[in-house]
Amino acid sequence: MNNIYHDDEHDSIKPVFLKGCGIIIAIIVLLIVGFLFTLGILSVVNKVSPVALLKGVSMQVTQTTKAPEKPGESGAVTTEKPKLEDKKTSGDVSLQGFNDAITKLVEEVTPSVVNIALKVRNQDVTPSVVNIAVKVRNQDGSISEGVGSGVIYSEDGYIITNNHVAGAAQEIIVRTTDGKEHVAKLIGANIDTDIAVIKIDAKNLKKANFTSINNVKVGEIVIAIGSPFAIEQTVTMGVVSAIGREIAVSSDTMPMVDLIQTDTAINPGNSGGPLINIGGQVIGINTLIYSPSGTNAGIGFAIPSDTAINIASQIIKYGKAMIPYIGIEMGQNTTNIPGVLISVVQKGYPADKAGIKAGDILTKFDGEPVRTNFELLAQILRHNVGDSVQIDIYRNGSTINLSVTLVESPVTAQNPTTTTAPNQ
């Protein structure tokens, strides 16, 4: 009976065993299918073949499971000092192109920027691109030294900077990018526009290229080059925040008009240096900042190139700035006609001779619309004494076109704003 019992037992175990094997095989098949399915998805996501993906996993497993060898053992890996690699280019073609363009234009423009060292009498020095070193005599008789910047205007040594940099200088030293120092002579300066021209004895200098504010757009990228805090050839970048700004700096001078506002870092020492566009053209001469601390707060201003080169050319030609004048006083326009209300016409001056009358609204100056008193002043500063200009006047419901010939402002005619360098 025992034999029969044991045969029955084996007969009952056999189906269970086979069933268990089938389940195990099914599970293995499911695992393999799941693995292959997952591998396929990963290869699609990573855009590689399943074989390449398997090789990568295999290498990773090998690296992570390999037992670290102790220092001193044969074949032990020791920590090596990282090596400096060759510069890599960005995978983003547009970003790399932008980077290359910026560095290239800085290389092209920098030789046109100089450092100016100064000694000045009775004036606070807020210097700026050539490096311009100045010395200034204070009210107590002491000498202050400062540093500013300048832009090479011509190959034969004329340099544009700010009046507040060089206008009252006792001594001016210019350092160009090749490290050479030159004693500079003050040719002339204008306090109203904050433009000064100095001259060094040099030839074949790299002069800057200039472009009009008419070509400047809000939001475009700009670069400032200068000597902030006497740190020469410093490059900062930002954007044009606004154009056509006006600021009344002093009750003794005309308001500064047509200014370019930028968030580019401008600090003491940048004054007189260029604000350039991504084409390497000077769009303005850095002049002042709004700041509670006296250093960059993201609000800086530049004199547009139109005004800067016009005043500079006058100084070079006449030894002083000759501000144009038409002989009117401007009032507040409360009408719905956009333009400048003429409240007074001065007898004997161009406006009077052209037939302009009090109460007229000046709507265009040399073809350019003018809506405010500051815009009219900005347009006048772009012209020269002797220019014949067409203007549009609104009077009694109709527009009249007139021609005026600009004369020199009685202010500059009677009180020249040229500053002559001492002992020169």
Catalytic residues: 164, 194, 271
SS3 35: helix
CB 188 within 8 A of CB 196: yes
The dihedral built from the CA positions of residue 373, 374, 376 and 380, taken in this order, carries a sign that is positive
405 phi and psi angles, rounded to 5 deg: -110, 120
Interacting residues of 144 by C-beta distance below 8 A, sequence separation 6+: 119, 120, 124, 125, 135, 136, 137, 138
DSSP class per residue in 284-300 = EEEEEE--SSSS--S-E
- Angle of helix 305-318 relative to helix 373-381, nearest 10 degrees, comes to 50
- The Cα–Cα gap between 48 and 64 comes to 22
CB 239 within 8 A of CB 219: yes
H/E segment holding residue 58: helix 50-65
- The Cα–Cα gap between 406 and 386 comes to 5
- The Cα–Cα gap between 283 and 304 comes to 6
